[in-house]
Amino acid sequence: EPEVTQTPSHQVTQMGQEVILRCVPISNHLYFYWYRQILGQKVEFLVSFYNNEISEKSEIFDDQFSVERPDGSNFTLKIRSTKLEDSAMYFCASTERTAQTFGSGTRLTVV
Amino acid sequence: SQQGEEDPQALSIQEGENATMNCSYKTSINNLQWYRQNSGRGLVHLILIRSNEREKHSGRLRVTLDTSKKSSSLLITASRAADTASYFCATDPVWNQGGKLIFGQGTELSVKP
């Protein structure tokens, strides 16, 4: 069964450093998403991406965040200058139409 | 309350029993989806029910949707220890721009052998 692949599975970074989280969505999917889940809390929407541009972003997705689809397969989330409160599990998801397929996540720890 | 709230927050049952989890939401939706998350892992899509559907089955899962009450329930029959996980409902609101899902807080299910 096709799956969404995320790398790395775990990243530890120093506060203020830039991180890039990578995702390979399912190949025939057109809509891409990033969500995050702070430990013990619910999953929160960050950004949606369609047709090579952001279609919607949440209040969390401020100027420190950016997304890119640099080629036909990868979808990346960059955090420019990480803060302690960015520590969370970050999930990538993709869909062809409705049901979203999620990756297994990247656990980001900012120290 | 926020869109997509589950109750109970935690549920502990014995293997073989049925588990029922409820979800309430605030605004009109296109569909409602249930996801499962094993501890510290990714989200696995279980079932999607559209706003014009009232009930859906998938294996041991039964989902109902009552749009007049803005609520849904997930029933897992004959539970197994392997069903131990967190279960989230997620709504796709009609006012959605980019197809995002709005998740609830989740129900933590523990099935004891």
The enclosing domain of A43 has a CATH number of 2.60.40.10
A94-104 CB burial, b ≥16 within 10 A, e <16: bbeeebbbbbb
Q: Which amino acid is at B6?
A: E
Confidence of residue B18 (pLDDT cuts 50, 70, 90): very high
Residue at A104 is within a domain: no
Would residue A92 count as lying in a domain? yes
Q: Where are the domains of chain B?
A: 5-112
A86 assigned to some structural domain: yes
Domain annotation covers residue A101:
no
Q: Is the pLDDT of residue B15 over 50?
A: yes
Q: Structurally, how many domains does chain A consist of? A: 1
Q: What is the pLDDT of residue B7?
A: 80
User: Mean pLDDT over residues B70-95, rounded?
Assistant: 94
Of A95, A98, A102, the CB nearest to B42: A102
- For residue A106, being part of any structural domain is answered with no
Average pLDDT over residues B32-53: 91
Question: Cβ contact (<8 Å) for B103 and A43?
Answer: yes
Closest CA to B6 of B85, B61, B70, B87: B87
Q: Is the pLDDT of residue B1 over 70?
A: no
The answer to whether position A53 is within a domain reads yes
CATH topology of domain B5-112: Immunoglobulin-like (2.60.40)
pLDDT at A1: 77
**Cβ separation A31–B48 shorter than 8 A:** no
Question: In 3D, which of A50, A47, A92, A51 has the Cα closest to residue A65?
Answer: A47
**Res B92 pLDDT > 50:** yes
Q: Which of A6-10, A70-74, B32-36, B71-75 comes out lowest in average pLDDT? A: A70-74
- Residue A62, domain extent: 5-96
As a whole number, mean pLDDT of residues B57-82 equals 96
What is the DSSP secondary-structure string of A10-78? Answer: EEEE-TT--EEEEEE--TT--EEEEEEE-TTS-EEEEEEEETTEEEEE-TT--TTEEEE--SSS-EEEE
Let me know if residue A105 belongs to a domain. no
Q: Which residue of A23, A51, A98 is the best one to mutate when testing the B interface, meaning the one whose CB has the most B CBs within 10 A?
A: A98
**Residues B32-38, mean pLDDT to the nearest whole number:** 93
